[in-house]
Structure 1
């Protein structure tokens, strides 16, 4: 597996010849909510406009309302006409190294931060548990006949000596160690991390750091698979 270090950059979403499509885990509630899984369904119309329909499997009404607010009829656009009429999805769930299936936790700090339940809910961590590590990860499974290229992501609930690792099928990238007050936007070299149908993007605890971080959001481009 290739391994690279992510360098910090400005906390803004990237732009390129095709504008990146942003996903923000915004939340205007006051208490954390639990989600069993979250699904993001994207559709491209015949003019290249990308829409998002977000949903969650949760018995918590507040969680359902929060995720429904991510719906967007125009979250971005594509210029490649071969992509018009296409649809694709990302479905997320939490895991830990002991075989557990912890919930996804959406917290109100910083306008909305998504993490994994367990050690410090709202972060993806588990390395620093006093009774022994139980490292957590958040996986996003991709479905669709397009290719998704991750352009960047934003960390939240950052503390000193914190960070996470993000990986696709054949590459991984470290984000830490982050410190309080440093920009938390991680810019990724274009093409380094990408997904095709059936592959997954994984954000996981860094075994070399005592603290993790949550996700504020990420942005990506899509293209026809090669």
Structure 2
């Protein structure tokens, strides 16, 4: 029950249906969802932890301005990608990836374990082999980028794993991916993996930057 209420209200706030400054009351939410006051309070605490709302004495619960939201929360990313501003959100997230992932690739080339290097090469191979199966391709794609961030040796980059996973899932979920992966994307992942395996830090950084330029161009082409 709690998850359903959080999903409904979170999506309404993140997509702008329930705009900044909107007042919510415990009584109103209790009546709307036919739940106890305790359940409503619990849900509001979760939304408040995301900075989507705040509580003010004698006023009630107020929807926050987006500038205060925890925009790295995967749930907020998912909700925003389902709304009318999805393309702007994709652009922002892609710019974040462009800033981070080339550095992560360079770090992985220096610091990855032998097992991680081997796994990256294997995941790039799996992506090519599963090009006709969107679910299998997405799973391999997420695993590739997650492992790359983890192998960078930078805990701040690793903490972005769920963000990147949600971006990749969102492009598929919102039908913003081509029917089949672009050959350039498959080649790019293999080139990144090969550079990491060869401990070529500069090459890994350049290959990942090039791969993300292709992603950015694909996003811009859909606007």
Q: Could you state the TM-score of these two structures normalised by the residue count of structure 2?
A: 0.24
Q: Whose helix fraction is larger, Structure 1's or Structure 2's?
A: 2
Question: Which protein is bigger by CA-based radius of gyration?
Answer: 2
Q: Whose strand fraction is larger, Structure 1's or Structure 2's?
A: 1
